[in-house]
Amino acid sequence: MTTAEFGTHNWGMVVDIDKCIGCNACVIACQAENNIPINTQDRVERARSISWIRVERYWEGDFPDAKARFIPIMCQHCENAPCEPVCPVYATYHNSEGMNIQVYNRCVGTRYCANGCPYIVRFFNYWEPVWPESLRNHLNPDVTVRSRGIMEKCSFCVHRIRHESRKARSEGHEILDGAVQTACSSACPTSALNFGNFNDPNSKVSKMRGDKRHYTLLDQFGTDPNVIYLAKIDADKKVGAGEAATHG
Amino acid sequence: MKLNRREFLALTGKTAAGAVIFAACGLPERELIVQSPVDLPEDLVRGEDAWYATSMGDFSNGDGVLVRVMQGRAKKIEGNPDHPVNRGKASARYDSVLQLLYHPDRISEPMVRYSKSGNLVAANWDQASTRFKEALSKADGALTIVTNPIRGHLGAVATNFAAQYNGKHMAFDPVEQGVLHGAVKSVLGQDQLPTFDISNAQTVLSFGADWLGTWGSPTQFGVKYGEFREQQDRGYLIHAEPRMSITAAAADLWLAPIPGTEGDLALGIASVIIENGMVSPQNVAAFEAAVPGGVSSYQLAEVASRTGISADRIEKAATHFAEHTPSVAFGGGSAGAHTNGSFNLGAIYALNVLVGAVDAKGGVTSNPGSAFDDVPASATGASFEAWEAELAEWRAGNVETVIIRGADIVHGMPNSVKIREALEHVPNVIAFGAIHDDTMDFADLVLPEQTFLEAWGTEIPEPGPGYQVVGTQQPVVGPTITRDESGLISDARGFGDTLLSMSDGSYGSSMERLVKDALSDLHDTGRGSVSASSSSLFINGTLQRGGWWDISTSGSSNVGKVNVKERNASYSDTGSLGTGDDFHLVPFHSNSLFDGRLAATPWAQQTPDPISSVSWSTWAEINSIQADELGINEGDVLRIRSTSGEIEALAYPHPGVRPGVIGIPMGQGHHKSGRYAEDRGSNVFSILADEKDSETGALAWAATRVRVQRAGRRVKVPKFEGNVVARPVEPGVPVLVVGISETAEEAQEANHHLYQKQFLGEGKESGSDE
């Protein structure tokens, strides 16, 4: 469970793995929204690709009982984030709205944060991002293009939050539940990804995290993430049966 | 710069050091955001954006989208929340279209080839128009327009243009849906593809169709799948397909039949249901009336043997389907791509009759016809048989001019039809497109075409949501000027507008006029989702909303009969293909490249395949145990030979493939398609054998058998799997799985105990040194 109680907002995400079909709509939506460099074949082969959200696939069992399990993983925006205290230049810090913020123009590229992150969701720019001139037309002007030598990661689409927050302020009301959607949650066809305010007890995500299937990734590390997962349901699994080790 | 003590203290209060000092006081980051020099674009949004509603054109089956435009540039494509088909949601293919719009290799100007052996040379639109008119001047009675299956007014323009020259309009779809349309028509009596009420079904039984990934209307189905799982009593999904697709992976029960036996499986399920009295006698009577010969020859043991699926799995599927209702059954994709495809799909759709799902809540419901008299609500590719006949006409010199748009026929047709040779015999080949494709190598005139983000049109989604829908397509950006201001990225024109400018004007003067006139006609009906006092207000309202729909309309079904002419599948021969091991080839749509229409874009290329996680290449999926037996390892280059030719692909063994089956994605192997796709991977279409569905003459694209041999090379597979070390919730358990009534905590505890038992071994005590 998250511990951030201060402030009006505590932004977070609830990922219902039972609805995730692994389609990667979230991955491309994030790529487009956040000006993530093209993951060329060379970068993929060298394990240097950047993907703020990824869908991991695990195999369970063998034919004909084989099952593929999907889980989308992005920055968990931990309340006790291991990446924050190790940054020597305060390029990553926790804000009062439950988000782990990366300040690009402070980052000096020590990569300590990436070493500290157990979720492996921080990415280092080994190269200057390059797009052919005409493709630069689709870059999102709301999001910084990160240069070589610095870290980047999921921002919970903070620019969308800022936009909605200004809009709500100018219209004289609070941000309505559902008004802010990250690029990934907006794209997700099955609504496996849900974004909202945990500090609003009536928000969709607050209700969802009360589900009996809720858990957090690597709970044993005590990172207290703001991303809550709802476990995959297997209709044939018996209560208390446990799962054997998987491969893939 | 000199600082006194007071200034120094004031400054530290606004810096990161200050942030640490104030950390205990709350809200320090507001200080940082406002006062420190760390303002990022994320903090300061400059400029206004506009969101325009339009339709996804050729890249979905009628999804409505919103396009974010800033300073005249399209930035993002998202689902239109108002649109009844995809209801605000997206697929992995939406944003890639932006990269077609701004592709660095986009065709910038018309090109003319003055002799068949010459090169394409740049021309202006005046020269191109002259060449176009010359080609048309001799084309009366000898004109063929080839497009992808296009619905809406663009399709009607192409058909009318062809009619004006006494020619024909033929649609090409490398994975044609003629068998599906035929089965729906013969069994359910529906002219359009029906709606599957997945949201309200308790059991979904699907065959061959990867409906959550690439088949039909995946975004629409994805939204419904979310609702299906969210029901009080969680829906149960059974999916039959020889390889694990996205849909098979989502299924509660995956059945992997021998390819071509899907109809047997469907009737085997029916047989179990009938024998055990799981449905009413009336339903049984209706079903038996629809299935000539009944199910007497589909006894469980026999079907298990024929399909390669164990009897208990078939029984389990039958029990769920009959007893957890409402249920719906549907199929398509590889299940219909056999010589007995019509029988397979007919038997599958007839299951709806058995459980009373036709026109029922949670079942299969029909869609009404088009809202326009002159625009059909359905479109499908011409059959392979029809294409063979047409290409014979080309070869015989009976066709003077061929106009091609949205169909890369050189890439999409099997080697066996010798499409290149046929094109060489056509005096005038005119090709439209945004990126140079393989077919344009044979074109005498290449015309740069606008993408759907720049052109006017309408779209009739198929399958629709159960009522009439007209999606609107409008230009959301104008022509884009190059950065050095030397010209336009592409001096493109719309396909429809170009045809209309070359026509006698009887059908319309421009696509914009056609769309607005059509909307004006809708206004005159006085019905539907948009009401306005004048036609112009109605048009604006419809364009703003992305379309018009009338929920009071509906279609109707008329149950007919399953086509049982050919019940058994036959496959291509491998006898003469040299050494190697025989496999059954099951091609499948790439989740991001689709059939290759998005291969030119780097986002589509880089998107990991959901199952294999491979990108940028062509891989071959084979069963991991069989691969071990054959000594095939991941990354081995495999030579895959059929009677139509040979390709190479990288081996990717995994447990989600039926032994004896090799799955290869479509979409790669273009010789031309821009810098990101050119000469990358292999084209699986090229090696398809010319087997056909016995009823419709459609290409049986899953009926090819191949001989597989290692090429003796091994390369690194470009895949995302393994790029990140798995960090399991419990050792060995990366994804937490619970039973229906189990809590996450209970599951974690059980996993923990199981792990301890496995790790420590039975009978050993915790703390042992062993």
Once rounded to an integer, what is the mean pLDDT over residues B705-712?
A: 97
For chain B, give the mean pLDDT: 92
- The band of B44, judged by pLDDT with boundaries at 50, 70 and 90, is low
Interface test with B, best of A20, A142, A223 (most B CBs within 10 A): A142
Residue of B nearest to A140 (CA): B75
Which chain B residues are closer than 8 Å to A133 by Cβ? 104, 482-483
In angstroms, the separation between the Cα of residue A172 and the nearest Cα of chain B is 20
Based on the number of CB atoms within 10 Å of its own CB, is B541 exposed (0-12), middle (13-18) or buried (19 or more)? middle
Interface membership of B292 toward A (CB under 8 Å): no
In angstroms, the separation between the Cα of residue A87 and the nearest Cα of chain B is 12
Full set of structural domains in chain B with CATH: 1-45 (no CATH), 49-95 (2.20.25), 195-365 (3.40.228.10), 581-714 (2.40.40.20), 726-770 (no CATH)
Decide if A246 and B734 are in contact by the 8 Å CB cutoff: yes
For B324, how many CA atoms within 13 A lie in the half-sphere containing its CB? 19
Q: For B49-84, what is each residue's pLDDT tens digit?
A: 899 999 998 888 899 999 999 988 999 999 999 999
In angstroms, the separation between the Cα of residue A190 and the nearest Cα of chain B is 4
User: Which of A27, A90, A133 lies closest to B16 in CB terms?
Assistant: A90
Q: For B514-528, what is each residue's pLDDT tens digit?
A: 999 999 999 999 999
> Is it the case that residue B636 has pLDDT exceeding 80?
yes
> Is it the case that residue B594 has pLDDT exceeding 70?
yes
In angstroms, the separation between the Cα of residue B444 and the nearest Cα of chain A is 27
Decide if B734 and A233 are in contact by the 8 Å CB cutoff: no
Interface membership of B720 toward A (CB under 8 Å): yes
Which chain A residues are closer than 8 Å to B480 by Cβ? 134, 137
For chain A, give the mean pLDDT: 92
> Is it the case that residue A248 has pLDDT exceeding 80?
no
CA separation for the pair A157, A143 (Å, rounded): 9
Closest alpha carbon to B76 in A227, A34, A232: A34
Interface membership of B90 toward A (CB under 8 Å): yes
- Check residue B761 and give its pLDDT: 65
- Check residue B34 and give its pLDDT: 38
Contacts of B680 (CB under 8 A, 6+ apart): B599, B605, B616, B617, B668, B669, B670
Those of residues 121-180 in B touching chain A at CB distance below 8 A are none
Full set of structural domains in chain A with CATH: 11-230 (3.30.70.20)
A-B Cβ pairs (cutoff 8 Å, strict): 358
Those of residues 443-482 in B touching chain A at CB distance below 8 A are 480, 482
Which chain B residues are closer than 8 Å to A106 by Cβ? 16, 38
Token pair 């203290």: residue: B9
Three-state SS at B52: strand
Q: For A50-89, what is each residue's pLDDT tens digit?
A: 999 999 999 999 999 999 999 999 999 999 999 999 999 9
CA B269 to chain centre: 28
ipTM: 0.96
> Is it the case that residue B27 has pLDDT exceeding 90?
no
Torsion of CA B652, B236, B297, B693, to 10 degrees: -50
Strands B468-473, B457-459: parallel, antiparallel or unpaired by DSSP? antiparallel
Q: For B130-156, what is each residue's pLDDT tens digit?
A: 999 999 999 999 999 999 999 999 999
- The band of B1, judged by pLDDT with boundaries at 50, 70 and 90, is very low
Contacts of B529 (CB under 8 A, 6+ apart): B545, B548, B549, B550, B551
Decide if A61 and B236 are in contact by the 8 Å CB cutoff: no
> Is it the case that residue B171 has pLDDT exceeding 90?
yes
Strands B581-588, B547-550: parallel, antiparallel or unpaired by DSSP? unpaired
Please give the angle made by the CA atoms of B65, B71 and B72, to the nearest 5 degrees: 55
Residue type at position A54: R
Interface membership of B92 toward A (CB under 8 Å): yes
Percent of chain B with pLDDT over 90: 84
Q: How many CB atoms lie within 10 A of CB A175?
A: 19
- Check residue B734 and give its pLDDT: 80
Angle between helices B125-137 and B495-502 in degrees, nearest 10? 60
Once rounded to an integer, what is the mean pLDDT over residues B586-614?
A: 97
- The band of B723, judged by pLDDT with boundaries at 50, 70 and 90, is confident
Q: For B467-477, what is each residue's pLDDT tens digit?
A: 999 999 999 99
Which chain B residues are closer than 8 Å to A132 by Cβ? 104
Q: For B336-361, what is each residue's pLDDT tens digit?
A: 999 999 999 999 999 999 999 999 99
